[in-house]
């Protein structure tokens, strides 16, 4: 799944997005509430919050390598590493 803001896009691999425990960790980790748990505890990317991203990497640290990508649309699509 991927959602795009104006400056930031977030992409989550499908199998990671289906992981309820990972969804919980991401919802807890992100300081600006870009991740939430929707009905059935599925992961939701909150489109209206995307451009609040502070590039803190907490979502990357909370997930398996490559499962979550934070894409800097303002920087030619460079990925937060």
Task: Tell me the C-alpha distance between 67 and 69, whole Å.
Answer: 7
Residue 45: Cβ within 10 Å count? 22
- Residue 38 engages ligand SF4 in binding (rule: CB under 6 A): no
Report the residue number, 30 or 43, with the smaller CB distance to ligand SF4: 30
* Size (the chain), residues: 81
Report the residue number, 15 or 28, with the smaller CB distance to ligand SF4: 28
What six digits make up the tokens of 68? 């979550």
- Residue 6 engages ligand SF4 in binding (rule: CB under 6 A): no
Residues that bind ligand SF4 (CB under 6 A): 10, 29-32, 34, 53-59, 70
């Amino acid at each position: 799944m991927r959602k795009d803001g104006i400056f930031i896009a977030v992409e989550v691999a499908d199998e990671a997005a289906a992981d309820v425990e990972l969804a919980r960790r991401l919802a807890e980790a992100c300081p600006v509430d870009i991740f939430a748990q929707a009905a059935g505890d599925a992961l939701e990317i909150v489109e209206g919050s995307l451009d609040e991203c502070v590039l803190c990497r907490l979502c990357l640290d909370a997930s398996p390598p490559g499962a979550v990508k934070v894409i800097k649309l303002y920087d030619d699509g460079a990925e937060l590493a």
